[in-house]
A = this chain, B = another copy of it.
Amino acid sequence: MENIRELFQVMTRRFGLLNKNCCSIDAVDISLVQSHILYEIDKREYPSMQEVAEVLGMDITTFSRQIQNLVKNGLVKKTPLPEDRRVYTLSLTTEGKFIATTLDREINRYLDEVFSHMTEFEKETVIRSIKLLNECMAKSSVCCKPLF
């Protein structure tokens, strides 16, 4: 049987490069970490700093500084939570949302292209496989908390 890690390594490397390349679309030019942060904020409903930092496996202090930059660049808004003023709630500004959406479209467009090399049946099988994989990874206790 083939080396399973290798399959993952190749796949995730490619997807990582894709994400990286997608960080500079015309005027937009953000770092890879920043794109991950935008993605997670966009996905969640007013998450706290901690929440996002943890999902991304980032040190909270590094994360704090990254957010400071994103706020300075007008992509992210930081709002103190009324019922617990230690907590800050994160959301995207209009421009942040625009960038996140553009990025998402770009990446999905690439993935569509990749899937165009398969039959409809294969495509569905692959997608179901990845979903199953994600579920099983979430179940696993060995390493890496559930993440969402």
The oligomer's copy count stands at 2
Distance A108 CA – B9 CA, assembled complex (angstroms): 11
Nearest CB of chain B from residue A114's CB, rounded to whole Å: 5
In the bound assembly, the distance between CA atoms of A85 and B43 in angstroms comes to 51
Interface magnitude class on chain A = 35 or more
Known contacts A13-B147, A115-B136; 6 further A-B pairs (Cβ under 8 A): A2-B127, A4-B115, A5-B104, A5-B107, A20-B57, A22-B143
Residues of B within 8 A of A57 (CB): 13, 16-17, 20
Q: Please determine whether A127 and B16 come into contact, CB atoms closer than 8 angstroms.
A: no
Contact with B along A1-35 (1 / 0, CB 8 A): 11111111111111111101110000000000000
CB within 8 Å of B: which of A86-144? 104, 107-115, 117-118, 122, 125-127, 129-137, 139-140, 142-144
In-complex Cβ contact of A137 among B6, B14, B20 (8 A): B14
| A39 beta carbon closer than 8 Å to chain B | yes
Q: Which of B7, B112, B142 contacts A131 (CB 8 A)?
A: B7
